[in-house]
Structure 1
Amino acid sequence: MKRTRRLAALLAGALLCGSGGPGYAAPAEAEPDRHTILGHSHRLVLIDAGHGGIDGGTSHGNILEKDLTLAISRKLFLELRSDGFDAALNRFGDYAPSEENMWLRSRSRHLKDLAQRKELAETLDAAVVVSVHINWAASPAKHGPVVLYRQEGRSYMLAKAIQDRLNGLYGTKTEVRPGKPFYLLNKITAPTVIVEAGFISSPVDRAKLTVPQGQENIAEAISEGIAAYLMEV
Structure 2
Amino acid sequence: MKTSVRKGLLIAGLLSATVFGSFSSGALTVAAASQQGVVKADVLNVRSAASINSSIVMQVKHNQAVHILDQKSGWTKIQSGKKTGWVKSSYLNVKQVTAAALKTAKVNASSLNVRSTPSTSGKVVMTLKRNASVTLMKTQNGWSQVSASGKTGWVNAKYLTASGTPAAPAPVKTEEKRVTAETLNIRATAASNGKVLASLKKNEIVTVLKTQGTWSNIKTSKGITGWAASQYLGSVTAPPAVETPAGFAYLNTDSNIRSGPGTSSPVILTLKTGTKLQTFEKQKDWTKVKIPDGRTGWVSNKLISAGQIETPVPESPTGVLTGKVIVVDAGHGGYDPGTRGSFTLEKSLTLTSSQLLVKKLQNEGANVKFTRNSDTYPLLSERAALSNKSKADAFISIHYDSGGLKATGISTFYYTFAKDSLLASKVHQNVLAAVKLPDRKASYKNLQVLRENKYPSILVELGFLSNPAEERLITTFDYQEKATNGIVQGLKSYFTK
Instruction: Provide Cα deviations, 1:145-182, integer angstroms capped at 9, x if missing partner.
Output: 11001232241111111111122122433321111x21
> 462, 481, 488: which is aligned to 1:216?
481
**Deviation, structure 1 residue 127:** 1.3
| 2:440 corresponds to 1:191 | no
1:49 alignment partner in structure 2: 330
| 2:381 corresponds to 1:115 | yes
Q: How does 1:120-199 map to 2 (within 5 A)?
A: 120-138=386-404, 140-168=405-433, 169-179=435-445, 181-199=446-464
Q: Which amino acid aligns with 2:322?
A: H
**Deviation, structure 1 residue 88:** 1.5
**Deviation, structure 1 residue 39:** 6.4
Cα RMSD for the two superposed structures: 1.6
2:496 alignment partner, SS class = helix
Using CA pairs below 8 Å that are at least 6 residues apart, which structure has the higher relative contact order?
Answer: 1
2:407 alignment partner, SS class = coil
Q: 1:124 to 1:226 in 2, by over 3 A?
A: same
- Tell me the number of residue pairs that the alignment of Structure 1 and Structure 2 aligns: 180
2:345 alignment partner in structure 1: 64
| 2:338 corresponds to 1:73 | no
> 355, 369, 383: which is aligned to 1:88?
369
2:439 alignment partner, SS class = coil
Q: Is the Cα–Cα contact under 8 Å of residues 44 and 85 in structure 1 kept in the other structure?
A: yes
Q: 1:39 to 1:134 in 2, by over 3 A?
A: closer
When Rg is computed on C-alpha atoms for both structures, the one with the higher figure is 2
Q: Is the Cα–Cα contact under 8 Å of residues 207 and 214 in structure 1 kept in the other structure?
A: no
Instruction: Provide Cα deviations, 1:37-72, integer angstroms capped at 9, x if missing partner.
Output: x3631x301001101111100001341000010000
More strand by share: 2
Per the normalisation by structure 2, the TM-score is 0.35
Q: Which amino acid aligns with 1:187?
A: E
Q: Which amino acid aligns with 2:325?
A: L
**Deviation, structure 1 residue 34:** 3.6
Identity level (%): 26
Instruction: Provide Cα deviations, 1:18-50, integer angstroms capped at 9, x if missing partner.
Output: xxxxxxxxxxxxxxx842xx3631x30100110
Uncovered stretches (5+) of structure 2, i.e. residues with no partner: 1-316
More helix by share: 1
Structure 1 residue ranges (4+ consecutive) displaced by more than 4 angstroms after TM superposition = none
2:392 alignment partner, SS class = coil
Uncovered stretches (5+) of structure 1, i.e. residues with no partner: 1-32, 98-112
1 CA distance for matches of 2:321 and 2:467? 39
1 CA distance for matches of 2:359 and 2:473? 19
